Amino acid sequence: MTIHDFQSLDGVAYGERLERRLAAAKRAFTTRNVDLAAAARLVRSGRRPQAGDLILARVTGLGQHRRLENVHGRRGDLYEGDEIIIAYGNRYAPDQFEAYVPENLGPCHLVAGGGVAALVTSRHASIKPATRIEVIGALVRADGKAVNLADFALVPTQSSRPARVIAVVGSSMNAGKTTTVSGLIHGLSRAGFSVGAAKLTGTGSGGDLWSMRDAGAGLALDFTDAGHASTFGVSDEGLGHVAQLLLARLGAAGMDIAVVEIADGLLQRETAALALTGHARGWFDGFLFAAADAMGAAFGCEWLSKRGIAPLAISGLVTASPLAAREAAMATGIELADLASLRDPVAAARIAFSTPGMRVAA
């Protein structure tokens, strides 16, 4: 439905017109848990957006993101003039954008293909300018409160977490964390376990969840299920809530083992905070460290070691190169697990149930 169609619905009640307009818009993955019937009207100004607030926006100029992942995971083409339903959220992506929730409902950017709106403040040199959007209106309930992802988060459960939880952290974005997670899920599934998966931090996108499910995860959840479009800027307490909520949910679903991914690199604030809190609180039984190269592996393992964490193994892109893998092994003294090992049921179980030893070289 175009804006013209919308305006031509003379005599149709506002609520029904809004419902039809929202139904016709391209709805992003990040909003998949939201019941749009909660939206009573659109607010066009006079309100400061919060992370997680839903908006109806119009694409005004195509840039880096020319596709939008819909609620079913299909990445559909975008066209200028398209109306889209997305959520505000900050973005921290060294390979793409740094972006923040704006202070008003003015024009901003589509900063993630999963459907995140923010204002870009910096971008990687090889990345195109962000796709531009204008906000048609924020979705608001009858009581004037914004429709926010947090309102549709999973309800906390008192279930125990899965008996074994392996956290995957990495040296940077695109170091091979998701490949590590998928490989380990596959190997452990073949080893006879019910494996659950969760992406605890990052920016809302279905790609990682789909790959977790494809690998054999019985249930895969992410922070959007906990009510966040992204976790950049979320407080330590908020991150802890996400982790505990998702782990308890995986436990309630009967998963034997959980493989969880913490996005970006260890130098990213939220990544470091959650890794250390999870370790200190006993939420994670072991860590895999995905490194892009040998130097990253050495630094990352030393970083973890100084904080009392010894990874079970090093994985990621570094394992694709025998020479780099050899360097990493010599520098750290820690076993390297390539993709074939992670996918192998015997090797995957051995890695997952190993006892971390403080074997990091000085």
Partner 1 sequence: MPFLKPDLLAPASQPRFRPASHAAMPDCYIANVRPGQPVLVAVHGISRNAAEIAMRFALDPAFAGTTIIAPLFTREAFGQYQQLLARKSGQVRADDALLSLLDDLATEYGIAADRFALFGFSGGAQMAHRFAMFHPHRVRRLCVVSAGWYCMPHTDIAYPHGIGDGKGGAIVGPEFLDIPTTVIVGNRDTRVDASVRQDEIINLRQGRNRLRRARCYTRALRSYAQEQGKDSAPTLLTLPGMSHDFHQCVTEGGLLRIAAQALL
Which residues sit at the interface with partner 1, rule CB under 8 A?
A: 156, 158-161, 163-165, 191-193, 237, 240-241, 244, 247-248, 256, 277, 281-283, 285, 345-346, 349-350, 352-355
Neighbours of 345 (CB within 10 A): 15
Minimum gap (Å) between residue 278 Cβ and partner 1: 10
Minimum gap (Å) between residue 280 Cβ and partner 1: 10
DSSP 190: H
Nearer to partner 1, 59 or 262 (CB): 262
Whether the Cβ atoms of residue 49 and residue 101 lie closer than 8 Å to each other: yes
Minimum gap (Å) between residue 285 Cβ and partner 1: 5
Nearer to partner 1, 193 or 303 (CB): 193
Nearer to partner 1, 193 or 299 (CB): 193
Alpha-carbon distance 276 to 355, whole Å? 18
Distances (CA, A) of 37 to 14, 32, 40, 145: 13, 13, 7, 14
Minimum gap (Å) between residue 1 Cβ and partner 1: 42
Nearer to partner 1, 248 or 309 (CB): 248
What angle in degrees, to the nearest 10, is found between the helix axes of 206-215 and 177-190? 20
Whether the Cβ atoms of residue 88 and residue 147 lie closer than 8 Å to each other: no
Nearer to partner 1, 111 or 259 (CB): 259
Nearer to partner 1, 31 or 341 (CB): 341
Hey, which bits of 186-266 come out as E strands? 195-199, 219-222, 257-265
Alpha-carbon distance 360 to 280, whole Å? 19
Minimum gap (Å) between residue 106 Cβ and partner 1: 36
Minimum gap (Å) between residue 195 Cβ and partner 1: 11
Tokens representing residue 158 in the block: 């008192």
